[in-house]
Amino acid sequence: MQQSLADIEKGIYATATASGVAATLLVLNLLPQNSHIIAMQGVYGGTYRIFEKLIKETSGHQVDYIDLNNLQLVKQHLRNNTRLIWIESPTNPLLELVDISKICQLAKENNIITCVDNTFATAWNQKPLELGADIVMLSTSKYIGGHSDLIGGAAITNQSTIADKIDGIKTTIGAIASPFDAYLALRGLKTLDLRMTRQCANALTIAKFLNNHRNITKVYYPGLSDNPQYHICQTQMKTGGAVVTININGNRDNVKNIISKLQYFVLAESLGGVESMVNHSATMSHAAMTEDERVKMGIYNTTLRLSVGIEDINDLLNDLEKALNF
């Protein structure tokens, strides 16, 4: 399974882990004490929790969250102890993109490690190592497995020094993938192309449908031609992905009503499976943040993340239309 993950990411070395969080911790454990990290603003809530609630206290690391597409701003935040730039593209849940090749070039010029969380895109959609990243990490629980029945993660690199350190840390802290979960991930890889082709096509159709809906104030999907980052999507991704995020024109009660009326979109914390899922980011994926922190990121009580599955597109569109009729 490790070799297969390395192959599809165009890497040489892969380390399978017990979860995506475990893969994140392996990368962070590469850093010396009191390091400075630059992270993408809008980073996944679970990663934010690790940065803010764990490593600041245990390792003394400092983290700045900024727009990684603003290279001048990134340069202004560089310090003598900056050791890592953490890239998430697309981000969860607002699907913001980073021009990976540009930020990686800047990092190399300053001897800084770059790590890309490729969970949302997968190697099917983009290959960060080919764009200059030092490390790719991902949760294999999502699109790699594809059936919402495993927990796992991985870290992939082309550099033997990094790979040896990650592998050693994995063994030391016990972040080892279970054999059966590794088997399930390997099974999932066999249908990754089929699933992603269908899911991404469905997502684009849904994004276009919702983009003109009376009860939707905003659609986040980088594959839409009117998205401000569409040019980045066209350059480094095959498609806009299989997740669509929306803001509802209403209040918290409207959101609860919509979720209760959905039949094909199951309320779930996770994403990436063949079944469509809906996530209320404020109370689920980003619950570790305060409301002020979420609002600053652009995540509201009316924000819903749709993980689009492989169901018949007409069934999904009808489901959304009925639920959004208020």
Three-state DSSP at 220 gives strand
Cα-Cα-Cα-Cα dihedral sign, residues 200, 103, 289, 227: negative
Residues in contact with 253: Cβ distance below 8 Å, sequence separation at least 6, in sequence order:
none
Q: Which domains does the chain have, with CATH numbers?
A: 2-189 (3.40.640.10), 192-323 (3.90.1150.10)
**Element counts in the chain: helices (H) and strands (E):** 14, 12
Angle, CA of 266, 142 and 211, to the nearest 5°: 55
Torsion of CA 138, 36, 28, 164, to 10 degrees: 100
**What pairs with residue 2 in β-bridges?**
none
Give me the tens of pLDDT residue by residue for the chain, a chain 326 residues long: 999 999 999 999 999 999 999 999 999 999 999 999 999 998 998 999 999 999 999 999 999 999 999 999 999 999 999 999 999 999 999 999 999 999 999 999 999 999 999 999 999 999 999 999 999 999 999 999 999 999 999 999 999 999 999 999 999 999 999 999 999 999 999 999 999 999 999 999 999 999 999 999 999 999 999 999 999 999 999 999 999 999 999 999 999 999 999 999 999 999 999 999 999 999 998 888 889 999 988 999 999 999 999 999 999 999 999 999 98
Task: Name the E strands within 151-253.
Answer: 153-157, 216-220, 243-248
Reported pTM: 0.96
